[in-house]
Amino acid sequence: MNKKYIPLIWLSVIIAVAIVIFVIASNPQWLQPKSGIIPRDGMSLEDPYFSDKVVIIYSSGCSVCKVVVPILRDIEQENNLTFYYYDASIESQLAQITDLNLAIEKVPTVIIYGKVYVGGRTKGEYETAILKK
């Protein structure tokens, strides 16, 4: 190898390492493990907070959420109920989700009286789960 290229190779390595360090330092949440319960489909949450509520966790950029959220809003209005909506793509609402001891991996996540539903369902399926209580 030609000796005139060795300083250039070292300079490239130093720049690459500096970029990696910058990216990690500017995103410290990458270094922190997710804390809280990861809701899985069909799971029952024992926390009494969820026992009498319908909680919808979605993301405004999620295509399935764009179908599910209006369905749930219709059920809410038709039956004069109150649901709790959290948009995981908004930092302050994501903090509220974390405060509920949840670590959301998939959206939409709908918690109906403590039972977890991940992904989309039909209006009938949601109505059955919500109105059976």
Q: What per-residue confidence (pLDDT) applies to 11?
A: 84
Return d(Cα 84, Cα 110) in angstroms, integer. 10
Q: How confident is the model at residue 2 (pLDDT cuts 50, 70, 90)?
A: low
Q: What per-residue confidence (pLDDT) applies to 8?
A: 78
Domain ranges of the chain: 1-32, 35-131
E strand map for the chain: 54-58, 84-87, 109-112, 115-118
Provide the whole-model pTM: 0.74
Q: What is the pLDDT of residues 30-48, one digit of tens each?
A: 445 567 899 999 999 999 9
Q: How confident is the model at residue 78 (pLDDT cuts 50, 70, 90)?
A: very high
Segment 91-106 shows an average pLDDT of: 92
103 vs 9: which has the higher pLDDT: 103
Q: How far is CA 57 from CA 41, 97, 132, in A?
A: 13, 8, 21
70 vs 19: which has the higher pLDDT: 70
Return d(Cα 95, Cα 102) in angstroms, integer. 10
The fold for domain 35-131 equals: Glutaredoxin (3.40.30)
